[in-house]
Chain A
Amino acid sequence: MDTNGFFGNWGGAYIPEVLHQTFQELKEEYARCRKDPEFWQEYLTLMSTYSCRPTPLTHAENLSRHFGGADIYIKREDLNHTGAHKANNVMGQGLLVKRMGKKRVIAETGAGQHGMATATMAAKFGLDCTIYMGEEDVLRQRPNVFWMEKMGATVVPVTDGSQTLKDAINEAFRDWVTNVDDTHYVFGTACGPAPFPEMVSWFQSIIGIEAAEQIVKYHGKMPRRVYACVGGGSNAMGVFKRFLDEDDVELVGVEAGGHGADSGAHAIRLSSPDATPGVAQGYKTMFLQDNDGQMKQTHSVAAGLDYVGVSPILSDLWEQKKVRFESATDDEVMAALDLTMKLEGIIPALESSHAFAGAFKEVGKLSKEDAIIINQSGRGDKDIFTIAHAFEDPSWKKFIIDRGKEYSSN
């Protein structure tokens, strides 16, 4: 990152003047934390006592045999407390908030996992907490809304625009400019104005640091490829960072193909020609936008990937050809999820299932001598309504109808 927050052509901090001073303070505190070895130690202790770090690296023997190519290893961020990699970032920012002495946190959330993690952190650290969530996402991630509220957070459904992640981010910014003195905005992914992309990636880098050590222990050498799904890009940056300078490791980001790359209904920013450079939500990156610069509607079965922009750090790595980007459609994702449940007894989140689908398309062509790592960014339990609906599961449907009847007769 240069002094203005750019990674090559991408990034920056396009913020309203009201936030200037707060960003100065945030940048200074972040720089102090990076220089202070005790901060990282405190972070590691917190993550190993409050959450489940290090998370395991699971050898998926049945999937490996099924595809007959490289050995498949799964990095289990689903076993982190609150069920996703999001906690890595949130707990780190929580420690920062304590140092800065702010009393209130706000966050945007798409899949609800980041909101969940933030509500958890706020409960633990005694902070007030408000979560902004697009109305469409409130409906598709209802279990997470329930838990956030139970932990004392206020969940505000956002009914503007496309009612998804980008609109939740806008609304969180509107809150922040109003309550800047006592509030920290816990940005949920490696996007937004500097220093967020770099800071979030730093906290998430714990994923790759652990995974590199684990794969060498189990497999004897570095993996051939590492796969991660890409929404804003935080789990991808987290698992990729450690491997960036390993010459023989190929990094693959899998974006949300929705109804297909040619359908217009997707969230493919880097692996399709549909996105163009733009500046929105405080940073410069590749955005899905029209010729006038208005953001387009996106679509994905996974709320956490249903987003118009992407980490400026990933745009830079894409431009430098250091990360390859692919996409997986909703249908491919459901099939990959189904197979993983049946063969391994593991339930990846719909977001994470994109990484699985991307890997499944290629793993059979790799040598048996090699290994790949799939980053399972989260668990699928939150998606029970969406998955049950997509599978048209008859017994689940009956259960919902019966429960509905029971509630409406009271």
Chain B
Amino acid sequence: MQLEQQLQEKLETRDILLMTHIVLGYPSFEVNREVIRQMVNEGVDCIEMQIPFSEPMADGPVILKANQDSLAAGTTVEECFSFGAEMVQKHTIPFLFMTYYNIIFKYGEEAFFKRAAECGIRGFIVPDLPPEMGKTFLELADRYDIAPILIFAPTSTDDRMKQLSGYGRGFIYCVARRGVTGKKSDFDHDFDSYLARCRTATELPLAVGFGIQSKEDIDALKGKADMAVIGSRTIKLVATEGADAVGPFIAGLR
């Protein structure tokens, strides 16, 4: 329950929260460290750290390349854990791991939860693990108090959303549109009715991600969602302009 509580407390003073996404080891852990420092300084509320995987099926070109480059530079799961532990020590905001299921499966599900709990990680986002495939995963999540972040998509029916919500903890990640990470989304009428459906289906806070790039996008979500997720946009920014560009960019978002 820790993650949801932390977010609910923040929501008492803020009209929308910000979650950012980094790919561990890309371009390097050193740069990750600096980027996270700037993000936290500028008031980011939550950070998902992606443990790279060689087959990132749900990711678009920017994050795909980040995964590949990180692995080519030799990033290991072990390094991701120690870096995660370091960030939790240093900063007070909640940190999550995002990764694909094979990374967890190969490590050993229970061992992975245990290690992540020791590091102080608050939640897991695993886009290729639907609850039907995650029976033991969900039990372990409860036991180790690490929130399993369930995902809603525009193609999810109302019944499906209710079902997913029953398994979710912390918040629900609403994918803004069909497709992979990185491309711009239209926040139009269809989108509003989708978000309204999400809101009806769950009591958990709603995070919206995929294609959020600017202050306008975030303003458009106020009152409809609880948290905006910035993913590819900052990863690209770091690649083109360096870590120092991140602070000012985040500052301009709210």
Contacts and interface: CB of A to CB of B under 8 A. Distances in A.
Interface stretch (B2-10, B38-46, B56-64, B244-252): B56-64
B153 to A, nearest CB: 4
Which of B68, B133, B155 lies at the interface centre, i.e. has the most chain A CB atoms within 10 A of its CB?
Answer: B133
A13 B133 contact: yes
Nearest to B65: A160
A134 interface: no
Contacts of A161: 54-55, 68
B83 to A, nearest CB: 15
A293 B104 CA distance: 8
A261 to B, nearest CB: 22
Contacts of A294: 53-54, 71
B130 A20 contact: yes
B178 A18 contact: yes
B171 interface: no
Interface string A252-294: 0000000000000000000000001111111010010101111
B166 interface: no
Given A18-B175, A21-B160, A177-B58, A278 B105 contact: yes
Contact of A295 (B54, B58, B130): B54
Nearest to B134: A14
Contact of A160 (B64, B77, B175): B64
A17 B130 contact: yes
Nearest to B157: A21
B153 A174 contact: no
Interface size class of B (residues with CB under 8 A): 35 or more
**Leading 9 A-B pairs by shortest Cβ distance:** A293-B106, A178-B179, A18-B153, A294-B54, A293-B102, A17-B151, A17-B153, A295-B54, A14-B128
Nearest to A293: B106
A147 B179 CA distance: 29
B152 interface: yes
Contacts of B56: 170
10 contacts: A14-B133, A17-B155, A17-B156, A18-B155, A174-B60, A289-B102, A292-B76, A293-B53, A293-B107, A294-B71
Given A12-B133, A14-B133, A20-B130, A293 B153 contact: no
A280 B55 contact: yes
Contact of A20 (B57, B64, B107, B153): B153
Nearest to B107: A293
B57 A170 contact: yes
Contacts of A281: 55, 57
Contacts of A160: 64-65, 68
A14 B178 CA distance: 17
B130 A21 contact: no
Interface string A188-212: 0000000000000000000000000
B29 interface: no
A15 interface: yes
A123 interface: no
Nearest to A3: B132
B106 A291 contact: yes
A282 B132 CA distance: 13
Given A16-B127, A180-B178, A22 B106 contact: no
Contact of A292 (B57, B58, B103): B103
B178 A179 contact: yes
A22 B156 CA distance: 10
B130 A178 contact: no
B153 A279 contact: no
Given A177-B178, A293-B103, 18 more contacts: A4-B132, A16-B57, A16-B153, A17-B155, A18-B154, A18-B175, A174-B60, A174-B180, A178-B178, A178-B179, A180-B155, A279-B102, A281-B55, A289-B102, A291-B106, A292-B77, A293-B105, A293-B107
Interface string A157-169: 0001100001000
A307 interface: no
Nearest to A6: B133
B202 to A, nearest CB: 14
Nearest to B210: A18
B100 interface: yes
A15 B102 contact: no
Interface in A4-42: 4, 12-22
A185 interface: no
Nearest to A309: B55
B152 A17 contact: yes
Contact of A14 (B54, B130, B157): B130
Interface string A370-406: 0000000000000000000000000000000000000
Contacts of A276: 106
Nearest to A166: B55
Nearest to A278: B102
A289 B106 contact: yes
Contacts of B49: none
B144 interface: no
A280 B102 contact: yes
A60 to B, nearest CB: 40
Contacts of A4: 132-133
A22 B160 CA distance: 13
B57 A173 contact: yes
A119 B57 CA distance: 24
A164 to B, nearest CB: 12
A16 B155 contact: no
Given A12-B133, A17-B156, A20-B155, A174 B178 contact: no
A22 B155 CA distance: 9
A180 B58 CA distance: 13
B35 to A, nearest CB: 23
B106 A292 contact: yes
